[in-house]
Structure 1
Amino acid sequence: MKILICATQFKGGSLQVVLSLINEFRSFSNYEYIVITSRQVDCQLNKMVFDENFTFISLPLFSSGKFRGFYERKKWLSNIEKQYNPDVVLSTSGPLYWKPRKPLLMGFNLPAYVYPESPFWTNKMSLKRKILWAIKTHYHRYLFRKEATACFVQTDDVNERLRKYLGMDAVYTISNTYSNIFKDVVQYPNKLSTRVENEIRFLTICTYYPHKNLEIIPAVAHELERRGYLNVRFVLTLKNEDFESHFKHLDTSKIINLGPVKSAECPSLYRECDVMFLPTLLECFSASYAEAMIMNKPIVTSDLGFAHTVCHDAALYFDPMNPVDIVDKIEMIVRNPELRDSLIEKGKQQLNQFGTAENRARQVLDLCNKLGNH
């Protein structure tokens, strides 16, 4: 079977997923893979380790004009499909803004569309932005219905919600998980300076999105200082321009922003920190939860349904819009080593629910077979 993979992601969790899948596909040599890569995927793939059943094609830069650029991209993708004649097309995220002739298996990871009860809508959205999001929601629903033959999601909860959102039955659950780079860890040089006395580091590995709710961190840091916790640091991995733009009027003295970190370097960064901290308002499935579990780090995160679906009792939960409640939970983690150990142990048990990166790749290929042979 020949699979055309649209690995055109450029940031966020979807980038980590497609990188993991492509690397795992090396173990399934009875397939032929044509992989269209964005620049961000390209720079994190070691193409020398792939066999001859892989063909890599770099996505070109198209016209800066929005509509002309979309037209050029669609035409180019159609030409690639015509040239290689795959049996099925795979994309781990969407929409693609392109409908292939062959069946398309598309991942869905847009939680804003299926979690209308999130505080994101009431606390982060002006009326104007809500109207724009409503238009975008309807347009993307139309594109998903038009483009995708089938979709796959990361939890049963999202599966049920997406079926209602799209009005389609061909939605399958394939759990997200940690990449195998967390099993065969390569130690990279430290990114953080030597700890000050009694320093505790809370790590958030993510790209900037408004729903990540990162702007609450300075208020949390201020409340920690008020209570006498002077050596708590929050470690972020945002682009410098995003950090400067969104934190420019806030006190960032307790924040260390490292800039984007390559996937292979993430395990080393977890080892340098103490707690995984995620104040997000929306997720389908954050791989950070599974990564923290396998790296033996306690999780402190938002008291919202999607987090409970993934972590169950392997996390300490807070109200993500209340800095005082967040600090109450951080204080519990800092002062109670038995609680930290308990969360770590429960995290190890919860890992069994996610499967492995190899199993995820096999399930994706099984769906490709189902669509390609239909």
Structure 2
Amino acid sequence: MNILINASNLKKGGGMQVADSFIRQLYNYKSHKFYVVVTDSLSDLLDDLTSSDNLILIKYTQKKNLLNVLFGKDAFLNNCVREYNIDKVFSIFAPFWRPSVKHICGFAKPQYIYKESPFFYNLKLKQRVKCKIVEFLHMRVIKLESDILITENLNVSTRLFEICHKRIPVFTVTNYYNQIFEKPSLWDTRIQLPKFSGFTLLTICANYPHKNLKIIPDVVKYLNEKYPNFLFRFILTISPNEFFINNVYAKEVLLLGNVSISECPSLYFQSDALFLPTLLECFSASYPEAMFMKKPILTSDIGFAKGICGDAAMYFNPLCPASIGEAIYRLANNVIERDKLIANGIKRLKVFDTYEERTKKYLKIIETGSI
């Protein structure tokens, strides 16, 4: 079977990790021929992988415009389908294109699923209206352009199936850490954090509003006032022009800018805990990454996070700086609690599909329309 893997719309965030991990596994499946469309955003793939008998890398060069997105038009991808005699298409996340063959699409838009999320509490009327319009247009695209949908969370799958009026099959394949975490020889260790004798909290994500990173300055202020002798710092993978930090807090917040997947394991190794104050997720690879790297998890006391992490995390109210600050201080000063969370995380990893299982499930869905 000739299969087109469409990663042309992935630019940042967790979808990049999934694409990288999945595509690297395709060499092992010789019964199919894969035509993989990627952009410069997946530069690691473009640098590391070479075309083979069963995997052809294609660099996406077309500029997308709003009209094409809304009406599912993409001349570049249409040409790929024709030129390579494609049988089926798998868009790793979000369609924005209607191919002439069967189309399997990944779904990762938690804001359309979890309306009860505190993310919506503080939105102004204009923002709410914008979200509603974007959601209406995007869900229209998803329903028109997808033949099968895949999510990373069973609860999301159940809700999405109802939203799509039970007309589109929805399957669940969980996320996992990238396989590079198991290969220390491939870790990129060029980023060396400054020497520090306090507690280091790592957050690896793009600066999306639902990640709730704007709460961090208030958490810093709370901890400095309540526990003036407590040494701590936040490590964020965003750039200074994306995130305003008062110079007063410069020593507590280190902004690294965008990092590659190969740089992530080393950052975990240099940190004491994962910190994720997110308000919305379908699934975050940060959770299994931290579990594998034996780092305790501090995250939001919200249903999706608890469903993924179970007893492997310490939870806080993500809208309350005091709740977050107290959780950080408690974990930093309780070695027994940290060790317990780490042990629970190692056990929790067995709940998820490994990167190999994920690939097998993706391919079975593509091949047979079932799992």
Give the shorter-chain TM-score range.
over 0.9
Once the two structures are superposed, what CA deviation does each residue of 1:94-129 show, in whole Å capped at 9, x if it has no partner? Answer: 0x3210011111000010000000010112x11011
Corresponding letter in the other structure for 2:42: V
Q: 1:273 aligns with which of 264, 271, 274?
A: 271
Amino acid at match of 2:121: T
Name the stretch that deviates more: 161-170 or 65-74: 65-74
Q: Contact 1:3/1:86 (CA < 8 Å) preserved in 2?
A: yes
Aligned to 2:234: 234
Query: Equivalent residue for 2:163?
Result: 165
Are residues 53 and 348 of structure 1, via their aligned partners in 2, closer, same or farther at CA, if it must alter by over 3 Å?
same
Q: Distance in 2 between matches of 1:275 and 1:179?
A: 19
Residue 75 of structure 2 is matched in structure 1 by 75
Q: Is residue 60 from structure 1 mapped to residue 71 from structure 2 by the alignment?
A: no
Output one character per residue of 1:313-356: Cα deviation in whole Å (capped at 9) or x when no partner.
10000000000011111111011000000000000000000131
Post-superposition, which runs of at least 4 consecutive aligned residues in structure 1 deviate over 3 A? 42-50, 65-73, 246-253
> Match for 1:263: what amino acid?
I
2:179 matches 1:180: yes
3-state SS of paired residue (1:313): helix
Amino acid at match of 1:306: F
Other-structure match for 2:219: 220
Shift of 1:218: 1.0
Match in the other structure for 1:27: 28
Q: Is this contact kept in 1: 2:222–2:321, CA < 8 A?
A: yes
Q: 1:235–1:255: 8 Å Cα contact kept in structure 2? A: yes
Cα offset, 1:73, TM superposition: 6.2
- Note if contact 1:300-1:317 (Cα within 8 Å) is conserved in structure 2: yes
- Greater displacement, 247-256 / 9-18: 247-256
Task: In structure 1, list runs of 5 or more residues that go unmatched.
Answer: none
Deviation per CA, 1:31-53, whole angstroms, max 9, x where unpaired? 10001111111444445455221
Question: Cα offset for 1:179?
Answer: 1.1
- Supply the distance in 2 between the matched residues of 1:220 and 1:252 (Cα, whole angstroms): 13
Partner of 1:99 in structure 2? 98
Q: Tell me if structure 2 keeps the 8 A contact 1:156–1:173.
A: yes
- How far residue 182 of structure 1 moved from its aligned partner, in angstroms, is 1.1
In structure 2, relative to structure 1, the CA distance for the partners of 1:293 and 1:190 (3 Å cut) is: same
Q: Could you tell me how far apart the structure 2 residues matched to 1:58 and 1:86 are?
A: 17
Q: 1:4 to 1:68 in 2, by over 3 A?
A: closer
- 1:69 to partner: Cα distance: 8.5
How far off its partner does 1:222 sit? 1.3
Aligned counterpart, 1:14? 15
Q: Distance in 2 between matches of 1:46 and 1:190?
A: 18
How does the TM-score come out when normalised to structure 2?
0.93
Pair 1:127–1:180, CA change in 2 (3 A): same
Identify which of 138, 141, 144 aligns with 1:143.
141
Normalised to the residue count of structure 1, the TM-score between the two structures is 0.93
For 1:35, the aligned partner's letter is: V
| Equivalent-residue separation in structure 2 for 1:184 and 1:358 (angstroms) | 15
Q: Is the contact made by 2:72 and 2:96 (CA closer than 8 Å) also made in structure 1?
A: no
**Partner-residue secondary structure (3-state), 2:4:** strand
Q: 1:200 to 1:364 in 2, by over 3 A?
A: same
Which string of whole-angstrom CA distances, capped at 9 and with x for unpartnered residues, describes residues 79-104 of structure 1? 1111112111001110x321001111
In the other structure, the counterpart of 1:2 is 2
Task: Tell me, yes or no, if structure 1 residue 349 matches structure 2 residue 350.
Answer: no
Deviates more, 1:314-323 or 1:178-187: 178-187
More moved, 285-294 vs 177-186: 177-186
Is the alpha carbon distance of 1:69 and 1:88 closer, same or farther for their aligned partners in structure 2, counting shifts above 3 Å?
closer
> Does the Cα contact within 8 Å between 1:110 and 1:284 map onto a contact in 2?
yes
Conserved 8 A contact 2:90-2:105:
yes
Tell me if 1:289 matches 2:290.
no
Matched, 1:154 2:152: yes
Counterpart in 1 of 2:330?
Answer: 332
Query: What per-residue deviation string (whole Å, max 9, x for no partner) do you get for residues 199-237 of structure 1?
Result: 211000001100100011111111111112442000000
Q: Among 251, 254, 259, which residue is 1:253 paired with? A: 251
Please give the alpha-carbon distance, in whole angstroms, between the structure 2 residues aligned to 1:179 and 1:331.
30
Distance in 2, Cα, partners of 1:206 & 1:48: 24
TM-fit CA distance, 1:250: 8.2
- Where structure 2 has 5 or more consecutive residues not aligned to the other structure, the ranges are none
Contact 1:32 1:53 in 2 (8 A): yes
Once the two structures are superposed, what CA deviation does each residue of 1:274-332 show, in whole Å capped at 9, x if it has no partner? 10000000000000000000000000000001101100110000000000011111111
Q: What corresponds to 1:312 in structure 2? A: 310
The aligned counterpart of 1:301 is 299
Higher relative contact order (CA 8 A, sep 6+): 1
Identity of aligned residues (%): 35
Distance 2:242 2:301 in 1: 26
Count of residues in Structure 1 that have an aligned counterpart in Structure 2: 366
RMSD: 2.0
Range 292-301 or range 125-134, more displaced:
125-134
2: CA distance, partners of 1:163 / 1:85? 31
Q: Match for residue 195 of structure 1?
A: 195
For the 8 Å contact 2:234–2:253, the answer to whether it is kept is yes
